[in-house]
A = this chain, B = another copy of it.
Amino acid sequence: MKLYSYWRSTAAYRVRIALNLKQAQYDIIPVHLVKNGGEQLKEKYKEINPQKLVPALKTKESGTLTQSMAIIEYLDEVLPGHNLLPDNAADRAFIRSLSQLVCCDIHPINNLRVLKYLTGEMLLSQDQKSTWYEHWVLEGLLAFEQRLKNRNRGGRYCLGSEPGMADCCLVSQLYNAHRFDISIANFSEIRRIEENCLKLEAFDKARPENQVDAE
């Protein structure tokens, strides 16, 4: 398999963790989101993903897949080993919901293309951009923390004794929050889970700074 990835993309980071948890063999094809006006915007990459976003996963069996959560669920369905989603329907709904809290309601409002549009087309200042970023990430993490408290207080991971899809989404989002200097000091559940995850090789190998295209 080949993963179209950018070291700092949190959506690609999610999928890298999932691939590692599944012990999948894969090659990284770097797509530089900044250099030359963004390689993801070129015709060549649009043929791979018409959305002009990373990640995309090229597979022998199923062609090229896009959207990080769809890719993670695919990997979980076709590869043996470590389960990324729990066995019963209610637990799966909980894990998917936590994952979507991050992947729908934090990340897309704060990703590169949106931040660029805010300062470019909408003429907002860098300060306003930072206020925007902080608002949506804290709004999301606050709800994430509350949902952990309601359902799985004190858990080692988002649910159960092994990390899964929601942990992939959470840890990569936190990398982004740290990068923008957002304090997560008040989120004790989230902080514990992050710490537990980052001890694992699958998460460590997927870190932005450990990528071939890291700068």
Contact = CB atoms under 8 A, between A and B. Distances in A.
B104 A90 contact: no
A161 interface: no
B93 A70 contact: yes
Contact of A143 (B51, B99, B105): B51
A73 to B, nearest CB: 6
Nearest to A146: B50
A139 B73 CA distance: 25
Nearest to A11: B104
Interface in A134-184: 135, 140, 142-143, 146-147, 150
Interface of A: 50-53, 61-63, 65-67, 69-71, 73-74, 77-78, 89-90, 92-94, 96-97, 99-101, 103-105, 107-109, 114, 117-118, 121-122, 124, 128, 131-132, 135, 140, 142-143, 146-147, 150
Given A103-B104, A121-B131, 13 more contacts: A50-B143, A51-B101, A51-B140, A52-B143, A67-B100, A69-B100, A70-B92, A70-B93, A70-B96, A70-B99, A73-B92, A74-B89, A104-B104
